[in-house]
Amino acid sequence: MPPVGKTLDALLPLLQPHGPELHLNASVVEVAEPSQLAELAADPRIRRYLLVRLSDTAALVDPGCAGDLEAALLEAGHTPKVLAGEWR
């Protein structure tokens, strides 16, 4: 079995900006372990909503698709914790 890092690289590329970036009103999926993100990225029902990895435990969600991702996570048997907030 390949290391989780290599699996993640193959499933969901790491964002590598050429300079600072600010994403307002962004939705992010955060997990406790890289293997959990690899599992999510391997599921086509969920992967379609994930744009890029921000780290080995976080991924940026397609804008406007947070509700669809939440439904897909629930359908796949996951129990997402949804938090809302504003950047100030």
Per the structure, the complete domain to which residue 66 belongs is given by 4-14+27-75
Helix (H/G/I), strand (E/B), else coil: 27: coil
> Does residue 88 fall inside a structural domain?
no
Short-list 62, 55, 47, 49, CA closest to 14: 55
Look at residue 62 and tell me if it is in a domain. yes
Query: For residue 88, what pLDDT is reported?
Result: 60
Q: Is residue 63 part of a domain?
A: yes
Query: pLDDT digits over 76-85, tens only?
Result: 999 998 887 7
Alpha-carbon span 64 to 57, nearest angstrom: 21
Q: What is the pLDDT of residue 86?
A: 65
Average pLDDT, the chain: 89
Number of domains in the chain: 1
User: For 13, which DSSP code?
Assistant: P
| Residue range 31-51: mean pLDDT, rounded | 96
pLDDT in tens, 7-39: 888 999 999 989 998 888 889 999 999 999 999
Residue 21 falls inside a structural domain? no
Classify residue 48: in a domain, yes or no: yes
